[in-house]
Amino acid sequence: MFRIVLIIAVIAIGYDAIVHQGLYTRNAWTSVVGLTDSAVTSAKQLGQNVREETGTTKP
C-alpha cells in the first residue's frame, strides 16, 4: 500500500514539475514549512510561559 502511495506522489510531483513548473509543490512545501515554524514558535512560547509561572527562568 505504501508503495502505491509513493508511486502516486512521485507521479503527481513529476507532473507538477513538468506542467506547472513546480508551482503546487512549492506552495505545499511553503505551507508545511509555515505550519512547522508556527508549531515551533508556539511550543517555545508555551515553554517560556511555564518557566515564568514556575519561577525557573534563567537570567
Q: Which of these ranges, 12-16, 32-36, 39-43, 52-56, has the smallest mean pLDDT?
A: 52-56
pLDDT for res 36: 96
C-alpha 36/C-alpha 9 separation (Å) is: 21
pLDDT for res 51: 87
Residue 32 has pLDDT above 60, yes or no: yes
pTM of the entire structure?
Answer: 0.60
DSSP labels, 24-42: HHHHHHHHHHHHHHHHHHH
C-alpha 8/C-alpha 48 separation (Å) is: 42
Average pLDDT on 48-53 reads 88
- DSSP class of residue 22 equals T
Domain boundary assignment for the chain: 2-50
Residues in CB range of 51: below 8 A, 6 or more apart: 57
Residue 35 has pLDDT above 90, yes or no: yes
Residue 57 has pLDDT above 80, yes or no: no
With contact defined as beta carbons under 8 Å apart, do 37 and 30 qualify? no
